[in-house]
Amino acid sequence: MSIDAKVDCAGQLANRRYVRARVMAARIFLNSRRLAFAAMLVSGALQAQASPTATISVNVGPLRNSKGSLACRLHSSADGFPRTGTGLLAKRVKIDGDSARCVFENVTPGTYAIVVHHDENDNRLCDRNRLGIPVEGYGASNNHTHALSAPTWQESKFLVESGKDRMLSISLRY
């Protein structure tokens, strides 16, 4: 065997090793891309299952009596809070016993405030005396109610986070 033949065999051997290494690297690269794609699909499926909305449950009580109904309004800004009926969502629930519950579902993340009113005579108004003070029960989120003024947005607002349900308790002022 001549020296040229040995070099040629060594060169072919080195070339085969080089080609095998390149093929293995390509396979590893393709498999890692497949794995990354599969992980991305699974991650997307898990994110699709997580709800971007939340549920707000409001327990209100104790109520003076079980007459009438409870009106609940969810506000998303200070505009019209708490006096006007321009809340984002409004619910009216029947009273059973000395407490009631309003539930707001599919609420997007954000800052909100809730105002509630025990409409004892079911006239859909917050009845007031001659001085303008409510004679029916009223309340707001964070339980900031005042005898001579309405609760403010700043003291009543709360945060709703994506997928995290909120449970609030509101006491009424009569």
pLDDT given for residue 156 in this prediction: 97
Spatial contact of 83 and 127, defined as CB atoms under 8 Å apart: no
Task: Give residue limits of the domains in the chain.
Answer: 1-50, 54-170
Q: pLDDT at position 43, please?
A: 54
> Do the Cβ atoms of 98 and 62 come closer than 8 Å?
yes
Query: How far apart are alpha carbons 152 and 144 in whole angstroms?
Result: 8
C-alpha dist (Å) from residue 39 to 42, 47, 52, 158: 5, 12, 21, 36
Residue 165: the pLDDT is 97
What pLDDT score was predicted for residue 4? 53
Chain centre distance of CA 17: 58
Contact, 159 vs 114, CB < 8 A?
Answer: no
Kindly give the parts of the chain with pLDDT less than 70. Answer: 1-14, 23, 25-26, 29-51, 85
Residue 119: CB partners within 8 Å, gap ≥ 6? Answer: 68, 69, 70, 71, 92, 125, 126, 136
β-bridge pairing 166-170 and 54-60 = parallel
User: DSSP code of 143?
Assistant: G
Distance of CA 19 to the CA centre of its chain: 55
The CATH code of the domain at 54-170 is 2.60.40
DSSP 8-state class, residue 86:
-
pTM of the predicted protein model = 0.69
